[in-house]
A and B are shown apart, each in its own frame.
Chain A
Amino acid sequence: EAGVVQSPRYKIIEKKQPVAFWCNPISGHNTLYWYRQNLGQGPELLIRYENEEAVDDSQLPKDRFSAERLKGVDSTLKIQPAELGDSAVYLCASSQPGYEKLFFGSGTQLSVL
């Protein structure tokens, strides 16, 4: 069984440019998470989906960040415009309903110059 797939693996952009990250969760996992991991820190939740509904987006900077999970499967996280402080690793994770174990993708390492 394939794990959580994220792309791209690395992304380098200039500030003020837009960027998008894609995530394909494990088949059958209804819950999808986007986390941001800054250097030397633990992951911080940005948004959590139950199927196609965003049930927790309290930590998502909505002025520049947006996310969608059409059809309750794949998800895209977008930043527009990117700022220098957005440089981080963006992690996607998924889990089964009512199951506490999260499965993480390898992440997208974003560098904003």
Chain B
Amino acid sequence: AQSVAQPEDQVNVAEGNPLTVKCTYSVSGNPYLFWYVQYPNRGLQFLLKYITGDNLVKGSYGFEAEFNKSQTSFHLKKPSALVSDSALYFCAVRANQAGTALIFGKGTTLSVSS
């Protein structure tokens, strides 16, 4: 069975500092991995994805994520946080098989202070 774990309910970081939001996953075979962001009163927005290739993927708003197969992790990172990055972040995974559903983690609230 597929699963996603986001071990931190909340991450607090000061503006200008680097940020990391953690995600680990469990899936049979090769994973498709995603990060989505949810701002208050808005729908989820796609940030980035890993399908294959380079383990470091770059996405929207300066975010990037690193796929680590041995640790089954896909942590979201940004070198310098902005107050406007404050939002709810979801990691999601699905197996590399036709017809499998996208499974979301429970989300991590990122709070960036000025």
A residues neighboring B (CB under 8 Å): 3-4, 40-45, 48, 55-56, 91, 93, 100-107
Contacts and interface: CB of A to CB of B under 8 A. Distances in A.
B104 A42 contact: yes
In the A-B complex, the 10 residue pairs with the smallest Cβ-Cβ separation, listed nearest first, are A42-B104, A104-B43, A104-B44, A106-B43, A45-B101, A42-B106, A43-B104, A101-B46, A41-B106, A42-B105
A26 to B, nearest CB: 12
Given A91-B43, A91-B44, A102 B99 contact: no
Contacts of B42: 106
B101 A40 contact: no
Contacts of A103: 46
Interface string B83-114: 00000001010000001011111110000000
Interface of B: 4, 32, 34, 36, 41-46, 49, 51, 90, 92, 99, 101-107
A88 to B, nearest CB: 14
A55 to B, nearest CB: 7
A45 B102 contact: yes
6 contacts: A4-B43, A42-B4, A44-B104, A55-B99, A100-B34, A101-B46
Contacts, number: 47
Interface centre among B49, B92, B99, B104 (most CB of A within 10 A): B104
Nearest to A3: B43
Nearest to A6: B43
A89 B51 CA distance: 29
A4 B43 CA distance: 9
A48 B44 contact: no
B10 to A, nearest CB: 11
Contacts of B90: 42-43
Contacts of B99: 55-56
A40 B6 CA distance: 12
B101 A102 contact: no
Nearest to B90: A42
Interface centre among A42, A55, A105 (most CB of B within 10 A): A42
A100 B44 contact: no
